[in-house]
Chains A and B, each alone.
Chain A
Amino acid sequence: MKKKSFFLKPALLLAASGLLLLGSTVGSARAALTYYSDSYNAQMSLSSIGVTLLENGEAVSKQDYKDNGVVSVGKGALLTDLLGEKENLIPGKKYNESLSVQNSGNIDTFVRVIVTKSWLNADGTTNQELSPSLIELQLTSGSGWQEDTTAATPERQVFYYQPLLAAGDKTPNIMDTIRIDNSIADEVNVIREGNTIKYEYKYDGCTFSLEAEVNAVQTHNAKDAIKSAWGVDVNVNADETRISL
């Protein structure tokens, strides 16, 4: 009987898979420059996505992915300049507070912003008596932002910027001003001390909170990308330059 020294089929299959694996890595080697001079340096720029949240035109938070994969993250707080030094917030008064978005990457994106409002007690716990709807945002109109009213709650509003946001571009403002409804000043406790009547506001010392999150996604294959990243179905036009709810 002839002795079987080698399994021919497995060896062939193994060699084939090895070749396929090797072949998959050849592409980048081919792309390497084989000749260059000092005068003709070339740099390959890879696609990188980035987004920046702007408050009153200034960057407060950003996250950019660079060519080498490093993430650039910057984070600041909102509302730090809402009041002047020693200035008290007055219910009913409108304060400048504009939010917008900049594409800080090098590819076009679609963006949305989620705004969350709430009230806090002096000890930092959530105040359940005061409605977040008392924190009024003056939204802009005709600026390309569309609110998803089906996702809106007293605490949360979601806004989609309909046009594509090109690399480096900024959106118009989502909102211009913020205002605390003056009805919170209607709740007054009366204190009688002898012949003197004093008043104290019931909600003196409460704190309101505003949070904004901006999401960005690629424009290529936008419908599937948005569904995958944000979990919502949007309408995308044929050339993928505009979305709508």
Chain B
Amino acid sequence: MMKRINKKTILLSGAAFALTASLSVGSAFAYFTTYANSKGTVPVKMGFTETVPQEKVDQDGKHVTIKNTGKYDCYVRVKVFADIAVTYQGGADWTQGDGDYWYYGSILPAGGETPELLVSYSYPDTEVENPTEEFNIIVVQECTPVVYDDNGDPKPDWNHVITTQQD
């Protein structure tokens, strides 16, 4: 007589197999891994500053300084328009360059002030003959933001200038 396999036997056998087989499953797919991450943001605040020319006049001429009253660093340059011949004394800080401007060589930081550029002149002989004649000496100063080239070196951008004029 053929023996029928008991249903309970099959179930118990299956359960036993599943239990024993499951013991080895975990380690097959478990790798040691970890991670860490971090994030940061920085605002890019760019702007054009404001500069104010300051002049004192005495017997030696016009003593010109430029003050950066804005929030951003800048470069500055000065040009003088006069009916009479003038000479300049600015030491190593000021050099004459393109367009007959006098360039302050360093970055003028926000809140900073340049050293003095002395603009000297002598009255022509006609002044003695006609003391009422007036001579205008006009100082024009310009500022431009500091930009950096591909090597990371600072340079002026004279394509964008803000001009201030004083008679």
- The answer to whether B9 and A208 touch across the interface, beta carbons within 8 angstroms, is no
Residues of A near B44 (CB, < 8 A) are 89, 91, 180, 184, 203-208
Question: Which A residues lie within 8 Å of B150 (CB)?
Answer: 92, 182
CB–CB B20/A63 < 8 A: no
Contacts known (A51-B36, A53-B37, A208-B41); A185 close to B46, Cβ less than 8 A? yes
A232 at the interface (CB under 8 A from B): no
**With A88-B46, A200-B47 as given contacts, are A216 and B34 in contact (CB-CB < 8 Å)?**
yes
Which B50-71 residues sit within 8 Å CB-CB of chain A? 71
Return the chain B residue nearest A62 by Cβ.
B36
| Interface residue B148 (Cβ < 8 Å from any Cβ of A) | yes
Quick one: which of B13, B23, B37, B43 contacts A205, CB cutoff 8 A?
A: B43
Residues of B within 8 A of A77 (CB): 38-40
B36 lies within 8 A of A182 (CB): no
Instruction: Select the stretch in A15-23, A36-44, A152-160, A235-243 that faces chain B.
Output: A15-23
A82 contacts partner chain B, Cβ-Cβ < 8 Å: yes
- Bound Cα distance from A109 to B12, whole angstroms: 44
Contact, CB under 8 Å: A61 / B38: yes
Interface centre among B9, B42, B154, B157 (most CB of A within 10 A): B42
Closest to B148 in A: A92
Chain A residues positioned under 8 Å from B45 (CB to CB): 88-89, 204-205
Residue among B13, B35, B73 having the largest count of chain A Cβ atoms under 10 Å: B35
Instruction: List residues of chain A with CB within 8 A of the CB of B23.
Output: 20-21, 24
B152 sits at the interface (CB 8 A) = yes
Q: Mark A205-245, 1 if CB is under 8 A from B, else 0.
A: 11111111111111001001100110000000000000000
Question: Contact check: which of A21, A78, A217 meets B40 at CB < 8 Å?
Answer: A78
Asked if A179 and B38 sit within 8 Å, CB to CB, the answer is: no
A222, closest chain B residue (CB): B31
A57–B37 Cα distance when bound, in Å, is 15
Residue B146 at the chain A interface, CB threshold 8 Å: yes
Identify which of residues 47-89 in chain A touch chain B, using a CB-to-CB cut-off of 8 Å: 47, 49-53, 55, 60-65, 75-80, 82-83, 88-89
Pairwise interchain contact B12-A14, C-beta atoms closer than 8 A: yes
Q: How large is the interface on B (under 10, 10 to 19, 20 to 34, 35 or more residues)?
A: 35 or more
| C-alpha gap A67/B165 in the complex (Å) | 74
Name the CB-closest residue of B to A202: B46
Find out whether the CB atom of A21 lies under 8 angstroms from the CB atom of B20. Answer: yes
Which residues from B are CB-within-8-Å of A9?
Answer: 6, 9
Identify which of B20, B36, B147, B163 gathers the most chain A CB atoms within 10 Å of its CB.
B36
A residues with a Cβ closer than 8 A to B are 7, 9-10, 13-14, 16-17, 20-21, 24, 47, 49-53, 55, 60-65, 75-80, 82-83, 88-94, 105, 107, 109, 120, 177, 179-180, 182, 184-185, 188, 197-201, 203-218, 221, 224-225, 228-229
User: What are 30 sample pairs from A and B whose C-beta atoms fall under 8 A apart?
Assistant: A7-B8, A13-B13, A17-B20, A21-B20, A21-B23, A51-B35, A51-B36, A53-B36, A53-B37, A60-B38, A61-B38, A63-B34, A63-B36, A79-B40, A88-B45, A88-B71, A89-B44, A90-B147, A91-B147, A182-B148, A182-B149, A184-B46, A197-B162, A207-B42, A208-B44, A213-B37, A218-B31, A224-B31, A225-B33, A229-B33
17 new A-B pairs (CB below 8 Å) besides A77-B39, A203-B46, A204-B47?
A: A9-B6, A21-B20, A53-B38, A55-B38, A61-B37, A90-B147, A91-B147, A91-B148, A92-B147, A107-B32, A188-B160, A205-B43, A207-B42, A208-B41, A212-B39, A214-B36, A229-B33
